[in-house]
Structure 1
Amino acid sequence: MAWLLLVVAALMELVWATALKQSDGLTRLVPSLVGLPVSLLSVVVLSVAMRELPVGTAYAVWVGLGAFGVAVTGIVVLGESVTVPRLAFLALILIGVIGLRAVEG
């Protein structure tokens, strides 16, 4: 259950990071009202997952999945650049997350 919560918390990062991008520096009300509470909720869910997972693993996976997901969202939804090096480094992040999951069981 802790791993599922961790993935949910990371998925929330996609929401809040994208919303904050759309908020234009917190100057647009609706994206700001989405981004800020979802970011807090993401941290709350992370903290619940940390009841059962080591802090280093949980935090690294949360950040890694969040960074990977936000970068992919930027590419797919926001039209950000796609380069071979960028994709390679995103793959390394994903490999690291998978590796941490494998060693923590």
Structure 2
Amino acid sequence: MERKAALKAVVGETAGTGPAWFAAKRFGYGAGMPIAWQGWAALAAWLGCLAGAGGLAQIGGAAGKTVAFALFVISTAIFAAIAARRTEGGWKWRWGKDA
């Protein structure tokens, strides 16, 4: 019974607070695919920021490239922090059988 309670705690709650937005990767470290609409929205927002940064780098000259790089770094850091807090079981190394 203790194992079921532990599994329920990991699947039902994340390393942060609230329900999981991203599945745990089966192998390796990090987040897997989104499993909730909030995860898909966060992924779409991040991809939108990357597309905007790419467009800005193309048309903005030297200053545009600097701003695009800053947008890329900041949006990636924010997305990684959100994904880390909202991944089932948190981010840890997984070998497949324990995912």
Q: Counting strand residues as a fraction of each chain, which structure ranks higher?
A: 2
Flag whether TM exceeds 0.5 (same fold).
Answer: no
Question: What TM-score, normalized to structure 1?
Answer: 0.36
Q: Counting helix residues as a fraction of each chain, which structure ranks higher?
A: 1
Instruction: Please say which structure displays the higher CA radius of gyration.
Output: 2
